[in-house]
Structure 1
Amino acid sequence: MNSGVGPPPSQFVVGTLCDNQCCSTDPFSRNASPTGQCCGAELRALSSLEAMEKLQGFEFWRKTLRAARFVLAPMVDQSELAWRLLSRRHGAELCYTPMLHAQVFVRDANYRRENLHNEVSPEDRPLITQFCANDPEVFVKAALLAQDYCDAIDLNLGCPQMIAKRGHYGVFLQDEWDLLERMIKLANEKLSVPVTCKIRVFPEVEKTVKYAKMLENAGCQLLTVHGRTKDQKGALTGVASWDHIKAVREAVNIPVFANGNIQHLSDVQRCMEETGVQGIMSAEGNLHNPALFEGRNPPVWEMVEEYLEVVKKHTPSTLSYVRAHLFKLWHHTLQIHQDLRDDLAKAKNLAGIEEVNTQLKQRCQEEIDKDESERHHTGLPFPHWICQPYVRPAPKDPSGENGVKAVSGKRALEDSDSSNDSLSKNKQKKKVRNPQKNFCPELKPKYIKCEQCGNPKGNKCVFNLCRGCCKKKAYKEVADCPGHGLRFKTKALKQTLAVQTETPISS
């Protein structure tokens, strides 16, 4: 079993997928399978010794996770190694990797190296690796490749974003209980580390409790409950329900972490008292104040300088990750110093980012020396150069008038989208760049669909097809389509005439 600080990368032995050489060697090594794929042989079951060593439930939480209470959430492109190390310095007791795509992880050796192998540090334990997946076999194959680099494997059942809907994973699996049960059971059976889940709640408390108990019965050893529903995202995020979390905690016999509504250390303490959970997970709150679990609100430059030191000393984080973290930390100050916002966006290397941070620090220190009346007043809980608690913006009033109660839910979005006066920020920006562009769905031209594939047909196509389908049909039937500029029949006739008019060669 994995416990405490793991061995250095060279001493790890990766879990075997099959008995063939392509899977029994280190998949992170360049000598592994040339395609970076398993040969597809049947997954082996755990030996009796391995099964005995795997801790479960509260024993796993107490011994392997060291009874962690303060948890850094899995965040795509944000909870990378450098940020995890910074968060651990300031109170985080358990960290999650960013969400990894199970299918890509199994298929691509470079993806595995970049997202896990190169992100290993003895200081970064206990650690849970999170995957998104919708296939039991693929999920377990990915988990087997990762299990010796972490202390548990987490299945993401909480991502509400559109990419998760298109990929059919995250919270969009929460109604497929049979599939989830098979995924958790197979993982619990095959892995040498525990399997955990991160979920969102249903609107009904009773259904949420049944959902949690189903996952527990399938083999989930720890549950993180985000107290928001699938539809609570973006402008409709709203407040997380601690009542749902409390009900789950009282119904299951495994450790539960709560996620949602955490802005201060006092919120952490209050949530644990009200819900009875074992730990608190922070995402956005941590990104805006990495010292949240210490109960401090330090100067932004202090956190930035420490983060950049970690990046340089321990791990070469991708520049886009570093820049994204600085935009979060300096968010309020950059609204005042717009010129430095542009400089940060254009920085080509770490030295350029450090220079922007130095200039921001100098400007803030100059403002600190000014009289109170000369400072920028932003209405924030603290001066803009201090790490702020994260407050989600309230939904906009679709009526556009103050004092009129906003309509909640999807209907508000539908109503606002139907008016040119209530365009989304993205569409407003596009309209500024291109005033002639029409954003009203009712006024957009209605295209007739291709009779074969459903794409818009060519306006002048003689077959009422799109270009791709028309080309196939015209080629097969040796026909012309002037609308698409296809001349198969004409060319065939020309070739026939050319052959007929050729003069025979005399012997």
Structure 2
Amino acid sequence: MSTSSPSLASTSTSPSTSTPHPRKLSGYDFYREILKSPKLIVAPMVDQSELAYRRLCREYGAELVYTPMINAKMFTDATNKSYRHNAFDIVSGEEGAYTDLSTSAASSTIAEGSYDRPLVVQFCANDPEKLLQSAKMVEEHCDAVDINLGCPQDIAKRGRYGSFLQDDWDLIYRLINILHTNLSIPVTAKFRIFDDVEKTVEYAKMLERAGAQILTCHGRIREQRGVNTGLASWRHIKAVKESVSVPVFANGNILFRDDVQRCLDATGCDGVMSAEGVLYNPALFVGLNDPSTSLPLTTTNPPIHTLAARYLELLTTQTTKTPVSAVKGHLFKILRPGLSVKGNWDLRDRLGKVGVKSGGGAGGAAEDREIGGVRGVKWVKECVDIVEEIGRRNERDAAELTQNGAVPLEDLIKVDEKSGLRVLPYWLAQPYFRAAPPPNANANEKKKKKVQVVVVKGREAPDVMEVNRVGVNEQVRAKRSIEDLVLASDVEEARLKHEHEERCEGCTGEGCGKNSGRVAVAAAAVVDDAEVAVVVKRRRVSIEGEV
């Protein structure tokens, strides 16, 4: 049932501009005729795969892009119009559009008729009827609807969706099948593997029987997240591909561009999906549709300031709004190599303060919170200034270290001793990889410190209204809410932690910096008992800085 490993050279061009699909296609017919056989795919990423970033990725070779995950329950809530509008802006007519509707040209490098197509809209859900209702709202504005069966975050556990549905096969079947039966476009599914290969294969077969026309297999188990992310199993993905008759996309371990073809060869999949890879380097896919072409390092891994500047430029050519949290999230990731240099820490701090006003949430006044057209000019200009400044510094450093081009950039590439991965000059876009924790690190940490470290990094409260001493049990309950942040007194270095709640719309999954408003201000205090922490009465604060 599998097909041979595809070559990137066989990649096709953009879809036609005819909007309605003449008939509902399935499996490989849908993959080839509607999606045009994409091999290079950008993953759904909450608060990160928004319209402007989708456009940026398409400019650099992405052939299929997914929207951020949308909560079907919230999307169908008629009283929550702001969530629906922010999650997928149907009114502007730009999301899912075939042509650029703005007065300014979006891009000369994107083929005509592919402004935001092909596009897959992703939902998370545990109620088939609400899922169908949500999907019906967007089916005329996308090519397929995807169901998120892979989110491993705590918010997914509390909301009972994503990977926390993977033991309820009957519900998953009904979620997929109701869309397969009632939509005019195909339904697809993105899922995580089980430890056991055979169980993973049976799971994938069930998804296909339910009606999923494309499967995206993320080769990690549910517990692999954050510092425990580790490597994805291409062996599991290969087994899935060989066991189903629908197209399969592989997800996991895509850091450098040469990883793409390696993954296709190892798994036999029809396409490769990248999430973090394209967040840190939106040009990850550039030129891969013609692997015979040799491209310079500055094309495959462009200067970080040029990528950031182009993203900001795209923001101003559309009316669809982009929240400040999404913009800052992208800039922190793209610019990360440069911002990590000690001489640029001032720019990191400046970027952290963008859109933050005393006594209010991110963006302060409404006109500063989002960018679309001419709105948000003040904070966007500050972002542009920061990007231009880091560009000047990077160009200065590059000239010095390369002796004005006499030293090839390739000679400046180093190899990380722990991971064995390449580290490029810091002014070039490159992946970010987390070092795996040592064995039993979590268990040792629990024995050493019974209190989880949480700190609000932002503006200090002018005074302390009330201080309560609480024990460990209270802390365990408190840390589950973004309104109860616990600070251990014996910690000198701590970082911002954001426990995600559904009230935090568009959260990135590992901290989005949006948790402003009524949260707890944690204050340091000398406490004799290490199991006791200090919690200060809830106050209104602004949170800033990179997460």
The one of 314, 322, 326 aligned to 2:327: 322
Residues 91 and 428 of structure 1: CA distance in aligned 2, closer, same or farther (over 3 Å): farther
Matches within 5 A, 1:64-463: 64-107=34-77, 108-116=80-88, 117=90, 118=92, 119-120=94-95, 121-122=97-98, 123-294=115-286, 296-314=300-318, 315-336=320-341, 337-348=344-355, 349-371=379-401, 381-391=423-433, 393-397=434-438, 406-407=439-440, 412-420=441-449, 431-432=491-492, 434-436=524-526, 443-444=531-532
Q: 2:488–2:524: 8 Å Cα contact kept in structure 1?
A: no
Give the letter for the 1:395 counterpart. Answer: A
Distance 1:169 1:368, change over 3 A: same
Percent identity between matched residues is: 44
Which has more helix, going by share of residues?
1
Single out whichever of 238-247 and 179-188 deviates more from structure 2. 179-188
Where 1:84 maps in the other structure, the secondary structure is: helix
Which stretch shifts more, 300-309 or 109-118? 109-118
* Contact preservation (8 Å) 1:56, 1:194: yes
Query: Scaled by the length of structure 1, what TM-score is found?
Result: 0.71
Quickly say closer, same or farther: Cα 1:437–1:71, change in 2 above 3 A.
farther
2:501 matched to which residue of 1?
none
Q: CA deviation at 1:239?
A: 0.4
Secondary structure at the aligned position of 2:253 is classed as: coil
User: In 2 relative to 1, CA 396–145 (structure 1 residues): closer, same or farther, beyond 3 Å?
Assistant: same
Check the 8 A contact 2:413/2:424 in 1, yes or no.
no
Q: Confirm or deny: 8 A CA contact 2:488 2:532 kept in the other structure.
A: no
User: How far did 1:265 drift?
Assistant: 1.8
CA contact (8 A) 2:453 2:491 kept: no
Q: 1:425 to 1:417 in 2, by over 3 A?
A: farther
The answer to whether the Cα contact below 8 Å between 1:64 and 1:151 also exists between their aligned partners in 2 is yes
Helix, strand or coil at the partner of 1:431: coil
What is the CA deviation profile of residues 88-129 of structure 1, one whole-angstrom value per residue up to 9, with x for unaligned ones? 010100000000000111113332232221451321000000
Conserved? CA contact 2:72–2:123, under 8 Å? yes
- Gap change, CA 1:163 and 1:6, over 3 Å in 2: farther
Q: Does the CA contact (< 8 Å) of 1:154 and 1:197 recur in 2?
A: yes
Distance across 2 between alignment mates of 1:437 and 1:345: 31
Do the aligned partners of residues 291 and 57 (structure 1) sit closer, same or farther apart at CA in structure 2, a change above 3 Å counting? Answer: same
Distance in 2 separating the partners of 1:195 and 1:297: 34
8 Å contact from structure 1 (residues 416, 423) kept in 2: no
Q: What is the distance in 1 between the residues matched to 2:529 and 2:66? A: 41
Equivalent residues of 2:40, 2:271 under 8 A apart: yes
Which structure exhibits the higher relative contact order, with contacts defined as CA atoms closer than 8 Å and separated by 6 or more residues?
Answer: 2
Contiguous gaps of at least 5 residues in structure 1: 13-49, 398-405, 446-507
Q: CA deviation at 1:323?
A: 1.3
Deviations 1:363-396 (A, max 9, x none): 11111222469999986621101001332x1233
C-alpha contact (below 8 Å) 1:5/1:124 kept by paired residues: no
Task: Supply the distance in 1 between the matched residues of 2:529 and 2:286 (Cα, whole angstroms).
Answer: 48
CA contact (8 A) 1:54 1:192 kept: yes
Per-residue CA deviations over 1:320-348 (Å, capped at 9, x if unaligned) read: 21111110011121122111111111223
Counterparts of 2:282 and 2:528, CA distance in 1: 43
**CA distance in structure 2 between the aligned counterparts of 1:437 and 1:198, rounded to whole angstroms:** 47
1:61 is aligned, of 24, 31, 34, to 31
- Name stretches of at least 5 consecutive residues in structure 2 with no aligned partner: 1-14, 99-114, 288-299, 356-378, 417-421, 456-486, 493-522, 534-547
Q: Deviations over 1:373-431 (max 9, x none)?
A: 9999986621101001332x12334xxxxxxxx33xxxx42331221399667667983
Contact 2:489 2:527 in 1 (8 A): no
Give distance in 2, aligned partners of 1:6 and 1:439.
69
Deviations 1:445-501 (A, max 9, x none): 9xxxxxxxxxxxxxxxxxxxxxxxxxxxxxxxxxxxxxxxxxxxxxxxxxxxxxxxx
Q: CA deviation at 1:259?
A: 0.3
Q: Residue 291 of structure 1 contacts residue 297 of structure 1 at CA under 8 Å; is this kept in 2?
A: yes
> How far off is 1:304 after superposition?
1.1
1: CA distance between counterparts of 2:528 and 2:36?
57
User: Are the structure 2 counterparts of residues 4 and 200 from structure 1 closer, same or farther at C-alpha, using a change threshold of 3 Å?
Assistant: farther
| Alpha carbons of structure 1 residues 377 and 184: separation in structure 2 relative to 1, 3 Å | closer
Separation (CA, whole Å) in 2 of partners of 1:371 and 1:183: 56
Match of 1:79, SS state, is coil
Contact 2:228 2:436 in 1 (8 A): yes
**Residue pair 2:66, 2:121 contacting (<8 A) in 1 also:** yes
Kept after mapping to 2: 8 A contact 1:416/1:422: no
Letter in 1 for 2:428: I
Q: Which amino acid aligns with 2:326?
A: Y
Look up the match of 2:458. none
Larger Rg: 1
CA drift at 1:319: 2.1
The answer to whether the 8 A contact 1:82-1:310 is kept is yes
Distance 1:99 1:340 in 2: 31
Offset, 1:86: 0.5
Determine if contact 1:105/1:112 at 8 Å carries over to the other structure: yes
The letter for the 2-side match of 1:196 is T
* Cα pair distance change 1:137/1:430, threshold 3 Å: farther
SS at match of 2:117: coil
Question: In 1, are the aligned partners of 2:86 and 2:321 still within 8 Å (CA)?
Answer: no
RMSD across aligned positions (CA): 2.7
Q: Could you report, residue by residue, the CA deviation over 1:122-150 in whole angstroms, capped at 9, with x for unpaired residues?
A: 21000000000001111111111111111
TM norm structure 2: 0.66
- Aligned 8 A contact 2:254 2:274 in 1: yes
1:111 partner letter: Y
1:390, 1:5 → 2: CA distance? 37
Residues 438/254 of structure 1: CA separation in 2 closer, same or farther (3 Å cut): farther
